[in-house]
Amino acid sequence: MKRIFAVLSALLLALSLCACGAEQAQDAQLFAMDTIMDFEAYGTGAGDALSDSKAEIIRLEKLLSRTKESSEITKINDQAGTPTEVDAEVASLLKSALEYSAATNGAYDITVAPIVSAWGFIGGDYRVPSQEELNGLLKDVGYGRITLSGTTVTLGAGQSVDLGGIAKGYASDRIAVIYAKDGVTSGMISLGGNVWVCGKKPDGTDWRVAVQDPNDSSAYVGILSLSDAFAVTSGAYQRNFTQDGKTYHHIIDPTTGYPAESGLTSVTIVAKNGTMSDAFSTALFVAGKDKAISFWRSGKYDFDMVLVTSDKQVLVTSGIAGQFEKAEGSGYAYETIG
Amino acid sequence: MKPSVKLKPAPWDALVILIILAAAVASGLYFWGQSRGAEGDLTAVISQDGKVIQTVDLTTMKEDHTEITVGGAYTNVIELERDRVRMESSDCPTQDCVHTGWISRPGQSIVCLPNRLVVELVGGGSPDVDVVIG
């Protein structure tokens, strides 16, 4: 009897100590790519994963920033109109960007960058450009004028590209590779709204990812239970300014040059690919509810989504409906899209 | 058959058992208490450049309302109440932080990129979410 007690006590003592140690998270924060990035990792490889992740983000920022003199993107833009040899990784990312542009009929378009700049959404000096100015800039918008052959890219004369719409998504894909390499099987990152959850939580349950309510900063429209998934939200409320009583947000419709007015207030994409999720969250916000739903139904790409409309509907596609917990009393009408 | 080994309970045996039991219970309570504490009160964690500069337990805060001014490249004024926080004002060019409005749930945050300032809510009872997107 005594021995049993002794063994039990020792076990209890050991357990009470190690349960806490095993769940110890390591985290890091970084300001890069014009946003804030949070990294969290559990387990023995966590330290390596965090330092490797930070180094990777800094490398990608140097490679992809449109505002950095030495970046590949600056090189392409400076030589618009003439064939330019680029880094293989950048060529491959451009290829993805062009594919997503074509798939969404240009609702996502990397050549819209000069218009986004004209509105001040890149520099931070917000302003409403004149229609004349927009008309001039719109002439050079059109991903179809970009040619990519191997690692040689040629922009149309006067064109300028920005991979900002997929750079964070691509970065999240790269971090997923790094976590795997460093042996991390549980963790989470948020690169300015681009979330990736690695495996499950240390306690074996899914990660609880809340989707912000676009109309109420202190509320959610619902909570997604996810494991090994990328989730990205595009919303009109994220970056905007008000002038003469009218609010202008940062998601520009490449056809009008104005902030997209599609009847959606946010689009959340959930998929196994961060780059694609990032591109589609922007594209489907611009495209609007009906086009977004038919694009999803086409089944051409494997993803799920949560759409929030300005008339207070929350539409969740069937692939994640079972993992979506509605917010009680939110005032939204919830519907599953099949 | 001989009885395997002797062993009559000696007084110090009981003492050892008691000490082990007490240690187990105490360490259990200590760590349980620690994690409870971290997840207990709704707390605003204010950090700049990735370093925590101040934490405010909103639940046990003395005043109903208080303000904290943070300097740096720009000046931000954070307004704190018992159950919520907002960026009351900022002289940064984008005003994204001010536009965010009030936040009241653990996991939510307000970011002022130009001043590299983050106000994050943690704790607040059962942490029902791990991350907020959007």
Residue B4: which pLDDT band, with cuts at 50, 70 and 90? Answer: low
Residue B133 lies in a domain: no
Same-domain pairing of B60 and B117: yes
Q: How far is A156 from chain B (nearest CA, A)?
A: 32
Is-contact A266 A308, C-beta < 8 A?
yes
- Tell me whether 0.95 is exceeded by the ipTM: no
Is residue B70 in some structural domain?
yes
pLDDT at A252 (0 to 100): 96
Query: Considering its fold, how many domains does chain B have in total?
Result: 2
Tell me, yes or no, if B133 comes closer than 8 A to chain A by beta carbon: yes
Residue B124, pLDDT > 90, answer no
Residues B95 and B75 in one domain: yes
Pick A99 or B41 by higher pLDDT.
A99
Mark whether B32 and B72 lie in a shared domain: no
State whether B26 and B47 are in the same domain. Answer: no
In a domain, B114, yes or no: yes
Tell me the shortest Cα–Cα distance from B109 to chain A, in angstroms.
10
- A151 near A91, Cβ under 8 Å? yes
Do B90 and B30 have their domain in common?
A: no
Q: Which residue has the tokens 């050079």?
A: A140
Let me know whether B72 and B117 are in one domain.
Answer: yes
Residue A334 has a pLDDT of 98
Q: Closest chain A residue to B113 measured between Cα atoms?
A: A35
Region label for B129, one of left (φ > 0), alpha (ψ between -120 and 50) or beta (otherwise): beta
User: Considering chain B, what percentage of its residues have pLDDT values greater than 90?
Assistant: 48
Asked if A210 lies within 8 A of B100 by C-beta distance, the reply is no
Asked if residue A91 lies in contact with residue A171, where contact means CB atoms within 8 angstroms, the answer is: no
Contact A164, A110 (CB under 8 A): no
Provide the CATH number for the domain around residue B104: 2.60.320.10
State percent of chain B over pLDDT 70.
Answer: 80
Q: Which two tokens stand for residue A309?
A: 């409309």
Same-domain check for residues B45 and B102:
yes
Instruction: Give yes or no: residues B14 and B50 share one domain.
Output: no
CB A238 within 8 A of CB A193: yes
Question: Quick one: pLDDT at residue A309?
Answer: 98
Region B88-107: what's the mean pLDDT?
A: 92
Which chain B residues contact residue A12 at CB under 8 A?
21, 24-25, 28
Low-confidence ranges of chain A (pLDDT < 70): 1-23
**So what's the pLDDT on residue B3?**
55
Q: Output the CA angle B124-B126-B128, nearest 5 degrees.
A: 100
pLDDT of residue B33: 44
Q: Which pLDDT value is given to residue A16?
A: 53
Number of cross-chain residue pairs from A and B with Cβ atoms under 8 Å apart? 125
In this structure, the answer to whether residues B86 and B76 fall within a common structural domain is yes
Q: What is the pLDDT of residue B21?
A: 73
φ and ψ at residue A107, rounded to 5 degrees = -65, -30
User: Does a structural domain hold residue B130?
Assistant: no
Write down the pLDDT at residue A4.
Answer: 60
* pLDDT at res. B23: 75
Q: Is B57 on the interface with A (CB under 8 A)?
A: no
Dig out the tokens for A244 from the structure: 């003469």
Residue B27 has pLDDT above 70, yes or no: no
B78 falls within a domain: yes
Pair B26, B65 in one domain:
no
Tell me the nearest-neighbour CA distance from B62 into chain A, angstroms. Answer: 23
CB of B51 closer than 8 Å to CB of B73:
no
Amino acid B16: pLDDT: 76
In a domain, B91, yes or no: yes
Question: Quick check: B23 and A13 CB within 8 A?
Answer: yes
Could you tell me the maximum CA-CA distance found in chain B, to the nearest angstrom? Answer: 90
Are residues B67 and B57 part of one domain?
yes
Predicted confidence band of residue B14 (pLDDT cuts 50, 70, 90)? confident
Residue A217 structure tokens:
């900063």
Distance from CA of A122 to the nearest CA of B (A): 10
Is B60 part of a structural domain of the chain? yes
**Does residue B80 lie within any of the structural domains?**
yes
State whether A268 and B96 contact (CB < 8 Å): no
Structural domain including B53 reads 41-122
Of A214, A218, A239, Cβ closest to residue B96: A239
Q: Are residues B53 and B35 in the same domain?
A: no
Q: Are A36 and B103 a contacting pair at CB < 8 A?
A: no
Contacts A10 to B, Cβ<8 Å: 20, 24
Beta carbons of A29 and B118 less than 8 Å apart: yes
CA distance A234 to chain B (A): 7
